[in-house]
């Protein structure tokens, strides 16, 4: 009888394995909330034994925080992309924030803001990520002002108003059913236009062809 060769298992480098674990936890966070991140759930998602997850993350809280940071860092690339002219980048922001793709991220932020009341370390991570969002969006607005595309003498204030609008729309992410009045569905765009000194419907026009692709992101 000819024996079949033993299956060789490739051992991943610790950095690669850790990143894989955090990535799976981030996926779970977006789909099921931060409470859904358990050693067993992550292990099942990766097809490994729970002990492997515990080896890298003896305390689940650490994994939860890293998963949140990974998820919102990835979202930042969608919300405020690096490439393109300022107007197009802003259009991507409003299309993402107002579309289906932004809802999972909005739910995650709501979830984290609730849980940070009971988990100070998560609260610290949340504040750090909020600051990164503000810095990146402010830099975008400043670039738009320098290019003559935006008209505001307070880029940081404009940034804050736009992000508050994003959060305001996101606060309804868990609602059952839909509300399709344009005053709501295009609220972020309206606030951005007003905050950036744009003409009415100016950003709407740039964002319109991007809404389908933003919905397909994530």
- What's 199's domain CATH number? 1.10.357.10
Contacts 24+ apart (CB under 8 A), 127-136: 129/68, 129/69, 129/72, 129/73, 132/73, 132/76, 133/72, 133/76, 133/79, 133/80, 133/163, 134/159, 134/160, 134/163, 136/76, 136/80
Looking at the predicted structure, is the pLDDT value of residue 152 above 80? yes
CB-CB neighbours of 154 under 10 Å: 12
The pLDDT of residue 212 is: 66
The DSSP code for 198 is: P
Distance CA(80)–CA(129), nearest Å, equals: 13
Q: Does any domain span residue 29?
A: no
Q: What angle do CA 146, 150, 155 make, to 5 degrees?
A: 80
Q: Does any domain span residue 133?
A: yes
User: Side-chain half-sphere of 183: how many Cα atoms within 13 Å?
Assistant: 0
The pLDDT of residue 216 is: 47
Q: Does any domain span residue 126?
A: yes
Q: Does any domain span residue 46?
A: no
Q: Does any domain span residue 137?
A: yes
Please give the average per-residue pLDDT across 167-190, as a whole number: 92
Looking at the predicted structure, is the pLDDT value of residue 8 above 70? no
Q: What angle do CA 122, 175, 162 make, to 5 degrees?
A: 60
> 27-62 pLDDT, tens per residue?
999 999 999 999 999 999 999 999 999 999 999 999
The pLDDT of residue 68 is: 98
> 90-120 pLDDT, tens per residue?
999 999 999 988 999 999 999 999 999 999 9
Please give the average per-residue pLDDT across 196-205, as a whole number: 96
Q: Does any domain span residue 62?
A: no
The pLDDT of residue 177 is: 85
Looking at the predicted structure, is the pLDDT value of residue 218 above 50? no
Residue 109 domain boundaries:
71-216
Tokens read off for 163: 């992000």
The DSSP code for 132 is: H
Tokens read off for 77: 């690339």
Q: What is the 3-state secondary structure (H, E, C) of 3-38?
A: CCCCCCCCCCCHHHHHHHHHHHHHHHHHHHCHHHCC
Task: Kindly report the backbone phi and psi dihedral angles of residue 188, in degrees, each rounded to the nearest multiple of 5, phi listed first.
Answer: -65, -40
Q: Does any domain span residue 115?
A: yes
Please give the average per-residue pLDDT across 18-32, as a whole number: 97
Report which of 76, 171, 17 is spatially closest to residue 25, judged by C-alpha positions: 17
Q: Does any domain span residue 26?
A: no
CB-CB neighbours of 183 under 10 Å: 8
Distance CA(140)–CA(149), nearest Å, equals: 11
User: Side-chain half-sphere of 178: how many Cα atoms within 13 Å?
Assistant: 8
Provide the domain count of the chain. Answer: 1
For residue 61, the SS3 value is helix
């Amino acid at each position: 009888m000819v024996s079949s060769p033993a299956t060789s298992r490739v051992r991943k480098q610790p950095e690669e394995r850790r990143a894989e674990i955090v990535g799976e936890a981030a996926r779970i966070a977006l789909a099921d909330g931060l409470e859904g991140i358990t050693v067993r759930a992550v292990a099942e998602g990766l097809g490994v034994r729970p002990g492997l997850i515990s080896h890298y993350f003896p305390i689940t809280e650490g994994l939860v925080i890293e998963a949140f940071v990974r998820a919102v860092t990835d979202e930042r690339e969608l919300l405020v992309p690096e490439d393109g002219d300022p107007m197009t980048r802003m259009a991507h922001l409003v299309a993402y924030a107002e579309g289906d793709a932004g809802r999972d991220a909005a739910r995650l932020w709501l979830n984290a803001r609730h849980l940070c009341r009971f988990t100070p370390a998560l609260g610290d991570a949340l504040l750090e990520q909020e600051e990164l969002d503000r810095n990146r969006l402010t830099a975008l607005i400043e670039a738009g002002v320098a290019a003559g595309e935006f008209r505001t003498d307070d880029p940081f204030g404009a940034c804050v108003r736009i992000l508050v609008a994003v959060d305001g729309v996101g606060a309804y992410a868990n609602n059952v059913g839909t509300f399709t009045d344009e005053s709501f569905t295009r609220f972020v765009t309206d606030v951005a236009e007003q905050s950036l000194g744009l003409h009415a419907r100016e950003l709407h026009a740039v964002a319109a062809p991007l809404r389908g692709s933003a919905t397909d992101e994530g």
